[in-house]
Amino acid sequence: MTVFENKIGLFSKHFNHAALLVTSVIILAACAQKPVRHAPIVERGTEMKKPPPPPAKPPVVQPKKTAETLNYVVQKGDTMYSIAFMHGVDYRELAELNNIENASAIQIGQQLRIPVPVETKDVESKAPVIHPVTPAGGMKTQPKVGKIPYSEKALAQAEAMQDEQPEGTPEIPDARTSSVVKGNKEEGDEVALEWGMPTNGRLITGFSENAKRKGVDIGGRRGQAIVASAAGKVVYSGSGLRGYGKLVIIKHNKTFLSAYAHNDQILVKEGQSVTKGQKIAEMGETDSDLVKLHFEIRKFGKPVDPGQYLPLIKP
């Protein structure tokens, strides 16, 4: 080997070392620029689990509403019917609440629980009001059946449909055309009631549920005959209810009671059966500033408008 060849071999050796060094530097620089990512550490035999969700809030339990009651101490002259009448409840509800089987088995000083009637709030009706419309295109409409093509036959048909009563709706007779009005037969009643005027005279004050007028006032003269408006049994006769004076209450059936107040004289006793039109009292002004009859009809203990059953003569 010549000297020239030795130099060439030495130069090649140094060149390879230098190239290797430069390549190493480049690789190290590239590694330094990239972030080092560590593999997640997972213990053997275990799995990665999501954290449990927060516990749900327990449901809010609303307390049960119970019927409100008030306590009443039986006074001399009270009956189950007069107590129920005074508080505007059905006598059967009162008896059931106090576990009384015999309505006449109450004693002076006995304490009774009286159910408090729930007042119904007046809610404004939001139902749309439908008005008849006659469009320009020759179509005649009416609220019950909508639009129909106009013709003499169609008009007659529409008028007939308006006159029809909905199925199951009973007709209410006009009390002003008859002195006797039949009451609707209620469940458990043996016969339908036939109501008659309790006395002669004109209406002084009418029934009003909103104004808490529980009956009607009929004017007359002192001593004028007061008669039973329908057949039944006298369940109260006395003057123990404040604001009514000398009062008679008649039970007609399981649904209806009638009351006759401010009498001058009472002619019937408790437990006595009376017929429709039988004289039961004489008109007066007891616990009143005017000679009159205050007359009420109670349905399941609740006052109803006597004008639904009687031909009242308005002033």
Instruction: Please name the residues in contact with 40: beta carbons below 8 A apart, sequence gap of 6 or more.
Output: none
Mean pLDDT calculated for residue range 127-150: 42
Q: What is the pLDDT of residue 33?
A: 59
Q: What is the pLDDT of residue 312?
A: 85
Q: What is the pLDDT of residue 185?
A: 52
C-alpha to C-alpha distance for 130 and 124, rounded to whole angstroms:
17
Question: Looking at the DSSP assignment, which residues form a beta bridge with residue 259?
Answer: 249, 296
Q: What is the pLDDT of residue 164?
A: 45
Domain 175-184+192-308 has CATH 2.70.70.10: yes
| CATH topology (fold) of 69-115 | Membrane-bound Lytic Murein Transglycosylase D; Chain A (3.10.350)
Q: Which residue has the higher pLDDT, 299 or 140?
A: 299
Q: Which residue has the higher pLDDT, 32 or 112?
A: 112
Q: Which residue has the higher pLDDT, 158 or 106?
A: 106
Residue 271 has pLDDT above 50, yes or no: yes
Q: Is 0.85 surpassed by the pTM of this model?
A: no
* Strand intervals (E) in the chain: 69-73, 111-115, 139-142, 146-149, 180-182, 194-196, 203-205, 216-219, 225-227, 232-238, 246-251, 256-266, 273-274, 279-283, 292-299, 302-304
Provide the phi-psi class of 17: left if phi over 0, else alpha when psi is between -120 and 50, else beta. Answer: alpha
Residue 57 has pLDDT above 80, yes or no: no
C-alpha to C-alpha distance for 186 and 193, rounded to whole angstroms:
10
**Sorting pLDDT into bands at 50, 70 and 90, what band is 273?**
very high
pLDDT tens digits for 85-110? 988 888 888 888 899 888 778 889 99
Residue ranges matching CATH 2.70.70.10 in the chain? 175-184+192-308
At residue 51, the 3 state secondary structure works out as: coil
Q: What is the pLDDT of residue 172?
A: 33
Cβ–Cβ < 8 Å for 106, 74: yes
**Sorting pLDDT into bands at 50, 70 and 90, what band is 18?**
low
**Sorting pLDDT into bands at 50, 70 and 90, what band is 130?**
very low
Q: How far is CA 123 from CA 120, 127, 213, 238, in A?
A: 9, 12, 20, 39
Q: What is the pLDDT of residue 192?
A: 77
Residue 42 has pLDDT above 70, yes or no: no
Q: What is the pLDDT of residue 304?
A: 95
Q: What is the pLDDT of residue 116?
A: 80
C-alpha to C-alpha distance for 216 and 201, rounded to whole angstroms:
12
Q: What percent of the chain has pLDDT over 90?
A: 38
Residue 62 has pLDDT above 60, yes or no: no
Q: Which residue has the higher pLDDT, 219 or 188?
A: 219
- DSSP one-letter code for 186: P
Q: Which residue has the higher pLDDT, 177 or 241?
A: 241
Residue 173 has pLDDT above 60, yes or no: no
Max avg pLDDT among 73-87, 138-152, 194-208: 194-208
Longest dimension (CA), the chain: 167
Q: How far is CA 294 from CA 205, 216, 240, 258, 260, in A?
A: 9, 6, 16, 11, 6
C-alpha to C-alpha distance for 48 and 134, rounded to whole angstroms:
76
Question: How far does Cα 273 stand from its chain's mean position?
Answer: 36
